[in-house]
């Protein structure tokens, strides 16, 4: 049997509170939710992180995202919704089967914060930002 906990959930070897599935994706409640309605959306194929998606895998995955978002909006009427997705342990990934967190937001006291996003506008001048854009564009070309 696979050692991946999310593959085990898809195979029903491990229980989950499923909210949606189709041929390509499975969505279920996070077992350690941060806010009311915290959901995970995963591809049925074992894909470790964003780098491993084919274009087709990505299209199949992301077309389900608005459906999940709109279901959460309809049910919980949150003030906002954060989509969060971690790639690699240093970025906070703890389960190495790609997943997107859907975190409904209610107010500043709802327990989820992105307040440590330090902006470095003195380091990243407009010239430096343009230089970085040129580098990335050259990889994409
Ligand atoms: P991340 O840190 O982005 O890799 O998030 C992994 C998430 O998976 C965490 O929020 C966990 O609470 C959640 N999680 C881990 N195991 C399970 C499980 N068996 N059922 C539901 N959620 C899980
Ligand atoms: Zn897996």
Kindly state whether residue 133 falls inside one of the protein's structural domains: no
- Tell me what percent of the residues of the chain surpass a pLDDT of 90: 90
Residue 117: the pLDDT is: 79
> Measured from the CB, is residue 83 less than 6 Å from ligand 1?
no
> Measured from the CB, is residue 5 less than 6 Å from ligand 1?
yes
Residue 2 pLDDT grade (very low, low, confident, very high; cuts 50, 70, 90): confident
Q: Which atom of ligand 1 is the closest one to the Cα of 16? A: 20
| Residue bearing tokens 């194929």 | 45
pLDDT digits 0-9 by tens, 97-127: 999 999 999 998 999 988 777 888 889 999 9
CB 24 within 8 A of CB 15: no
CATH number of the structural domain spanning residue 105: 3.30.428.10
Kindly state whether residue 130 falls inside one of the protein's structural domains: no
Enclosing domain of residue 21 = 5-114
26: its two tokens: 């499975």
Kindly state whether residue 139 falls inside one of the protein's structural domains: no
Kindly state whether residue 135 falls inside one of the protein's structural domains: no
Q: Which whole number is the average pLDDT over 47-63?
A: 97
First-to-last C-alpha distance (Å) of the chain: 41
Kindly state whether residue 122 falls inside one of the protein's structural domains: no
Residue 128: the pLDDT is: 96
| Residue bearing tokens 């703890």 | 94
Kindly state whether residue 54 falls inside one of the protein's structural domains: yes
Separation of CA 46 and ligand 2 centre (Å)? 4
* Integer angstrom CA distances of residue 49 from 37, 46, 81, 86, 88: 23, 9, 22, 8, 8
Kindly state whether residue 138 falls inside one of the protein's structural domains: no
Number of domains comprising the chain = 1
Kindly state whether residue 132 falls inside one of the protein's structural domains: no
Pocket test for ligand 1, best of 34, 50, 85, 94 (most atoms within 8 A of CB): 94
């Amino acid at each position: 049997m696979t050692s991946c906990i999310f593959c085990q959930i898809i195979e029903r070897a491990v229980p989950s509170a499923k909210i949606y599935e189709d041929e390509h994706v499975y969505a279920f409640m996070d077992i350690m939710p941060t806010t009311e309605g915290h959901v995970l959306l995963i591809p049925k194929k074992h894909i470790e992180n964003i780098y491993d998606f084919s274009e087709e895998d990505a299209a199949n995955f992301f077309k389900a995202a608005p459906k999940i978002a709109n279901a959460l909006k309809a049910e919980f009427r949150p003030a906002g919704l954060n989509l969060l997705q971690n790639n690699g342990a240093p970025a906070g990934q703890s389960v190495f089967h790609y997943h997107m967190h859907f975190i409904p937001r209610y107010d500043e006291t709802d327990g989820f914060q992105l307040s440590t996003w330090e902006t470095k506008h003195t380091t990243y001048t407009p010239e430096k930002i343009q230089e970085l854009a040129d580098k990335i564009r050259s990889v994409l070309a």
